[in-house]
Amino acid sequence: MVNYVSRKFSKLLFIVVIVIILRKYFDIKIKYLFILRVEKLKVLVFGSGGLVGTSLSKILSKSKKVSNLVLSTRNDTDLLDFSETKNKILDFKPDLLINAAAKVGGIVANNSYRTSFILENMKINMNILESSIPLTNTRIINLGSSCIYPLNAENPIKESTIMTGKLEPTNSPYSMAKLSAIEIGRAINYEYGNKIINLMPTNLYGPNDNFSKENSHVIPGLISRMHSDMENKIDNFLIWGSGKPLREFLYVDDLSMAIEFLIDKDIDTDLLNIGSGEEISILDLAIKVKETIGYEGSIEFDASKPDGNPRKLIDSTIIKDFGWKPITNLDSGLKTTYEWYLKNFDKIRN
């Protein structure tokens, strides 16, 4: 009898210990994450002709989680037109809709074309989100930007700092459009129940980027301008600002693999940072680009031009705790991007 009770007590104690451990584990990880479904998904990607969209096309076309992948560009759907957007969504009725569409650009473009950046991005996001309201079973992944966070947010920047301070002024219109999309999604979720998750990637780069010398982001802009200076035998390469700001970069395929990782999982949070966790100064980045390209001139900075945010490193702890991590380091990412740039020079988005 004593042995029987002892065995029962031991089993009960074992179960209690396991439950305590699992509850603790759930609180930090699995509380928010479990497999949503096992059947393959019908996926619609808006913005499939851009940097993220072309990468998603490559990654999702190979995914065992996807049964039907529809890639939409501005050639088949004008996302600034509500009727066209709604018809595209309702005709396909996707299990998952990924919004990778946006009007994007670097610091010069954001500051120069402030009106079009806020209006066009607002219209794109409003049309997609409002059109999706009747499809309450369609999950939405909305891609935003780390520029939504306050200028003086403590680094690494956590998701909880959203709307707690003033935005960086040079791209505040674009940031406001992205913030509005998050708030619209939250309103729709509250009122209609649609599941919308917002991913905030850090600065992206890679093949199929916009390599415009004036309107691109920092890495493609450095590549295209420095390559041009090398070809034209210009010895002094000029960069806006002081070169001191610190930035974090993520190779675009790492973002696409994060999305592929998430598409069959249910996450009980609507905002996730996606970053590499590594930062570099603009000066050191320029030196890396110089070494990648083989440019032999000197690098100079125009300190009279704005730097933008002095430091921006996002905290990607939550998604990394779920099991995702980036696999491409900056050196190999720059090499692959420049090789693609050379191979596609004649047809590039310059």
* 341 domain-assigned: no
Read off the pTM. Answer: 0.88
- Per the listing, tokens 């969504």 go with 89
Q: Helical H runs in 217-281? A: 218-231, 252-262
Reply yes or no on whether the pLDDT at 37 is more than 70: no
The structure tokens listed for 50 are 């851009």
Residues 242-252: pLDDT tens digits?
Answer: 999 999 999 99
Burial of 176 (0-12, 13-18, 19+ CB in 10 A): middle
Using DSSP, state whether 102 is helix, strand or coil.
coil
CA distance linking residue 289 with residue 299, whole number of Å: 11
Q: Which of 104-118, 202-216, 252-266 has the highest mean pLDDT?
A: 252-266
The structure tokens listed for 130 are 């409002």
The structure tokens listed for 349 are 């988005």
Q: What is the pLDDT of residue 16?
A: 47
* 268 domain-assigned: yes
CA distance linking residue 239 with residue 150, whole number of Å: 25
Backbone angles phi, psi at 200, to 5 degrees: -110, 90
* 131 domain-assigned: yes
Q: What is residue 157's DSSP assignment?
A: B
Element (H, E) at 283: helix 282-293
CA distance linking residue 177 with residue 219, whole number of Å: 23
Of 300, 289, 304, the closest CA to residue 237 belongs to: 300
Planar angle of CA 342, 346, 350, nearest 5 degrees: 85
CA distance linking residue 231 with residue 222, whole number of Å: 14
* 1 domain-assigned: no
Backbone angles phi, psi at 279, to 5 degrees: -125, 160
* 17 domain-assigned: no
If one counts the domains in the chain, the total is 1
Contacts of 273 (CB under 8 A, 6+ apart): 146, 157, 158, 159, 200, 201, 202, 314, 315, 316, 318, 319
Contact 241, 303 (CB under 8 A): yes
* 54 domain-assigned: yes
CA distance linking residue 298 with residue 300, whole number of Å: 7
* 215 domain-assigned: no
Domain containing 146 equals 32-206+249-278+310-329
Domain harbouring 113, CATH code: 3.40.50.720
Q: Clarify whether 174 is annotated catalytic.
A: yes
Bridge-based pairing of strands 139-143 and 196-201 is: parallel
* 2 domain-assigned: no
Selected catalytic residue, list 4, 113, 174, 295: 174
Residues 162-205: pLDDT tens digits?
Answer: 999 999 898 899 999 999 999 999 999 999 999 999 999 999 99
- Kindly report which listed range (28-42, 66-80, 230-244, 251-265) carries the lowest average pLDDT score: 28-42
